[in-house]
C-alpha cells in the first residue's frame, strides 16, 4: 500500500467504472476520485476557457 493516494480525475464519462475496477484489483489502496461534470466536455473549449 502506498503512502499517497491514487488519484483519478474524470472529465467525462467512464471514469467511475475505472475507479471501481481499480478498487477490485488494489483493494488496500487509498483512492481519490474527482469528477467535473459541470464543465464537461473539455474538447469543445478554447485554451482561454480551460
So what's the pLDDT on residue 11? Answer: 75
Domain boundaries, the chain: 6-41
Q: Is residue 20 within 8 Å of residue 47, measured between CB atoms? A: no
So what's the pLDDT on residue 26? Answer: 96
So what's the pLDDT on residue 14? Answer: 83
Q: Is residue 1 within 8 Å of residue 29, measured between CB atoms? A: yes
Can you give the pLDDT of all 50 residues of the chain as single tens digits? 668 999 998 877 788 999 999 999 999 999 999 887 776 666 777 888 76
DSSP β-bridge partners for residue 34 = 9
So what's the pLDDT on residue 35? Answer: 86
Amino acid at each position: 500500500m502506498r503512502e499517497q493516494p491514487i488519484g483519478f480525475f474524470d472529465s467525462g464519462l467512464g471514469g467511475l467504472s475505472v475507479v471501481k475496477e481499480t478498487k477490485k484489483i488494489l483493494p488496500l489502496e487509498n483512492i481519490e476520485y474527482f469528477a467535473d461534470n459541470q464543465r464537461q466536455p473539455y474538447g469543445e473549449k478554447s485554451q482561454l476557457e480551460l
